[in-house]
Amino acid sequence: MAGVSAAPTSRRVLGIDPGSVRTGFGVIEIDGAQTRYIASGAIQAGRGAFAERLHTIFTGLNALIAEHHPSESAVEEVFVNRNVQSALKLGQARGAAICACAGAGLAVHEYTPRAVKQALVGRGGADKDQVGYMVRAILGLQGRLQEDAADALAVALAHVQHDRFGQRVAAQRGSG
Protein backbone atom coordinates (compact mmCIF):
# COMPACT_ATOMS: atom_id res chain seq x y z
CA MET A 1 0.00 0.00 0.00
CA ALA A 2 1.38 3.39 -0.93
CA GLY A 3 1.94 5.85 1.91
CA VAL A 4 1.87 3.21 4.66
CA SER A 5 5.20 2.46 6.24
CA ALA A 6 5.92 -1.01 7.53
CA ALA A 7 6.33 -1.52 11.24
CA PRO A 8 9.96 -1.66 12.31
CA THR A 9 11.25 -5.21 12.27
CA SER A 10 14.02 -4.72 14.81
CA ARG A 11 13.77 -4.11 18.52
CA ARG A 12 16.22 -3.60 21.34
CA VAL A 13 16.13 -5.33 24.70
CA LEU A 14 17.88 -4.04 27.81
CA GLY A 15 18.78 -6.91 30.13
CA ILE A 16 19.46 -6.09 33.77
CA ASP A 17 21.18 -8.12 36.48
CA PRO A 18 20.46 -5.97 39.55
CA GLY A 19 22.91 -5.68 42.39
CA SER A 20 23.31 -3.16 45.19
CA VAL A 21 27.05 -2.77 44.51
CA ARG A 22 27.16 -3.51 40.76
CA THR A 23 24.20 -3.70 38.40
CA GLY A 24 24.95 -5.50 35.16
CA PHE A 25 23.40 -4.38 31.90
CA GLY A 26 23.31 -5.76 28.40
CA VAL A 27 21.67 -4.40 25.27
CA ILE A 28 20.88 -6.63 22.30
CA GLU A 29 19.06 -6.01 19.07
CA ILE A 30 16.68 -8.49 17.49
CA ASP A 31 15.89 -8.34 13.80
CA GLY A 32 13.82 -11.34 12.76
CA ALA A 33 15.90 -14.41 13.59
CA GLN A 34 19.09 -12.36 14.02
CA THR A 35 20.30 -11.33 17.46
CA ARG A 36 23.08 -8.76 17.69
CA TYR A 37 25.18 -7.49 20.58
CA ILE A 38 24.98 -3.72 21.16
CA ALA A 39 26.57 -3.00 24.56
CA SER A 40 27.17 -4.38 28.04
CA GLY A 41 28.85 -3.52 31.30
CA ALA A 42 28.07 -2.69 34.90
CA ILE A 43 26.87 0.34 36.77
CA GLN A 44 29.19 0.70 39.75
CA ALA A 45 27.05 1.77 42.69
CA GLY A 46 29.88 1.27 45.19
CA ARG A 47 29.57 0.76 48.92
CA GLY A 48 28.52 4.21 50.13
CA ALA A 49 25.18 5.29 51.56
CA PHE A 50 22.48 2.93 50.35
CA ALA A 51 20.11 5.65 49.10
CA GLU A 52 22.93 7.07 46.96
CA ARG A 53 23.67 3.63 45.53
CA LEU A 54 20.02 3.22 44.52
CA HIS A 55 20.12 6.67 42.94
CA THR A 56 23.28 5.70 41.02
CA ILE A 57 21.53 2.60 39.64
CA PHE A 58 18.46 4.62 38.67
CA THR A 59 20.37 7.44 36.96
CA GLY A 60 22.85 5.05 35.35
CA LEU A 61 20.03 3.07 33.75
CA ASN A 62 18.29 6.28 32.66
CA ALA A 63 21.51 7.32 30.87
CA LEU A 64 21.81 3.88 29.20
CA ILE A 65 18.20 4.00 28.05
CA ALA A 66 18.75 7.47 26.57
CA GLU A 67 21.91 6.29 24.80
CA HIS A 68 20.75 2.92 23.42
CA HIS A 69 16.98 3.43 23.01
CA PRO A 70 15.76 -0.04 24.01
CA SER A 71 12.11 -0.82 23.35
CA GLU A 72 11.73 -3.20 26.30
CA SER A 73 13.58 -4.51 29.32
CA ALA A 74 14.15 -7.82 31.07
CA VAL A 75 15.12 -7.90 34.75
CA GLU A 76 16.34 -10.84 36.78
CA GLU A 77 14.21 -11.63 39.82
CA VAL A 78 15.59 -11.86 43.34
CA PHE A 79 17.08 -15.17 44.40
CA VAL A 80 16.74 -15.57 48.17
CA ASN A 81 19.25 -17.93 49.68
CA ARG A 82 20.04 -17.46 53.37
CA ASN A 83 20.82 -13.81 53.96
CA VAL A 84 17.55 -11.91 54.26
CA GLN A 85 19.29 -8.51 54.49
CA SER A 86 21.11 -9.14 51.19
CA ALA A 87 17.84 -10.20 49.58
CA LEU A 88 16.13 -7.01 50.76
CA LYS A 89 18.93 -4.82 49.38
CA LEU A 90 18.85 -6.72 46.11
CA GLY A 91 15.09 -6.22 45.95
CA GLN A 92 15.54 -2.50 46.41
CA ALA A 93 18.17 -2.40 43.64
CA ARG A 94 15.68 -4.23 41.42
CA GLY A 95 13.08 -1.63 42.34
CA ALA A 96 15.40 1.20 41.26
CA ALA A 97 16.05 -0.62 37.96
CA ILE A 98 12.36 -1.33 37.33
CA CYS A 99 11.44 2.29 38.09
CA ALA A 100 14.05 3.55 35.61
CA CYS A 101 12.68 1.25 32.90
CA ALA A 102 9.02 1.90 33.62
CA GLY A 103 9.66 5.63 33.88
CA ALA A 104 11.17 5.55 30.39
CA GLY A 105 8.07 3.79 29.06
CA LEU A 106 9.70 0.40 28.59
CA ALA A 107 7.81 -2.83 29.06
CA VAL A 108 9.40 -4.67 32.00
CA HIS A 109 9.67 -8.47 31.86
CA GLU A 110 10.95 -10.45 34.84
CA TYR A 111 12.71 -13.83 34.87
CA THR A 112 14.00 -16.06 37.63
CA PRO A 113 17.66 -17.09 37.52
CA ARG A 114 16.49 -20.66 36.89
CA ALA A 115 14.34 -19.61 33.90
CA VAL A 116 17.29 -17.70 32.42
CA LYS A 117 19.56 -20.74 32.71
CA GLN A 118 16.85 -23.00 31.28
CA ALA A 119 16.35 -20.73 28.26
CA LEU A 120 20.05 -20.48 27.42
CA VAL A 121 21.57 -23.79 28.48
CA GLY A 122 18.56 -26.09 28.54
CA ARG A 123 18.65 -26.78 32.26
CA GLY A 124 17.87 -24.57 35.24
CA GLY A 125 20.81 -25.81 37.28
CA ALA A 126 23.49 -24.68 34.82
CA ASP A 127 26.54 -22.90 36.25
CA LYS A 128 27.75 -19.39 35.42
CA ASP A 129 30.48 -20.67 33.06
CA GLN A 130 27.92 -22.55 30.97
CA VAL A 131 25.64 -19.50 30.80
CA GLY A 132 28.58 -17.24 29.88
CA TYR A 133 29.64 -19.66 27.15
CA MET A 134 26.15 -19.66 25.64
CA VAL A 135 25.92 -15.85 25.78
CA ARG A 136 29.23 -15.57 23.87
CA ALA A 137 28.21 -18.28 21.40
CA ILE A 138 24.77 -16.82 20.63
CA LEU A 139 26.10 -13.27 20.25
CA GLY A 140 29.35 -14.26 18.51
CA LEU A 141 31.53 -12.60 21.16
CA GLN A 142 35.19 -13.38 21.79
CA GLY A 143 37.01 -13.33 25.11
CA ARG A 144 35.66 -13.19 28.61
CA LEU A 145 32.71 -11.01 29.58
CA GLN A 146 32.45 -9.25 32.93
CA GLU A 147 30.23 -11.53 35.08
CA ASP A 148 27.51 -8.94 35.74
CA ALA A 149 27.39 -7.99 32.05
CA ALA A 150 27.20 -11.65 30.97
CA ASP A 151 24.34 -12.24 33.41
CA ALA A 152 22.46 -9.19 32.10
CA LEU A 153 22.94 -10.29 28.48
CA ALA A 154 21.68 -13.74 29.51
CA VAL A 155 18.51 -12.18 30.93
CA ALA A 156 17.94 -10.26 27.67
CA LEU A 157 18.53 -13.40 25.59
CA ALA A 158 16.21 -15.44 27.82
CA HIS A 159 13.50 -12.86 27.22
CA VAL A 160 13.97 -13.13 23.45
CA GLN A 161 13.87 -16.94 23.68
CA HIS A 162 10.71 -16.78 25.81
CA ASP A 163 9.13 -14.37 23.32
CA ARG A 164 10.00 -16.54 20.30
CA PHE A 165 8.63 -19.64 22.03
CA GLY A 166 5.38 -17.80 22.81
CA GLN A 167 5.06 -16.75 19.17
CA ARG A 168 5.58 -20.34 17.98
CA VAL A 169 2.95 -21.63 20.41
CA ALA A 170 0.50 -18.94 19.28
CA ALA A 171 1.17 -19.82 15.63
CA GLN A 172 0.56 -23.52 16.35
CA ARG A 173 -2.72 -22.75 18.06
CA GLY A 174 -3.78 -20.53 15.16
CA SER A 175 -3.03 -23.18 12.53
CA GLY A 176 -4.53 -26.12 14.40
pLDDT of residue 84: 84
Residue 76 annotated as catalytic: yes
Catalytic residue of the set 29, 67, 76, 163: 76
pLDDT of residue 101: 98
Catalytic residue of the set 29, 127, 148, 163: 148
69 vs 11: CA distance, rounded Å: 9
Residue 151 annotated as catalytic: no
pLDDT of residue 5: 44
Topology annotation, domain 11-175: Nucleotidyltransferase; domain 5 (3.30.420)
pLDDT of residue 166: 55
113 vs 137: CA distance, rounded Å: 19
pLDDT of residue 83: 83
43 vs 126: CA distance, rounded Å: 25
> Could you read off the pLDDT of 115-173 as tens digits, one per residue?
999 999 998 889 989 999 999 999 999 988 999 999 999 999 999 998 776 566 566 67
DSSP annotation string for 31-56: ETTEEEEEEEEEEE--SS-HHHHHHH
Q: Say if CB 160 and CB 13 are below 8 A apart.
A: yes
Domain ranges of the chain: 11-175
Q: Of 9-18, 50-59, 77-86, 151-160, where does mean pLDDT reach its minimum?
A: 77-86
Per-residue pLDDT, averaged over 52-61, amounts to 98
Per-residue pLDDT, averaged over 63-73, amounts to 98
Residue 110 annotated as catalytic: no
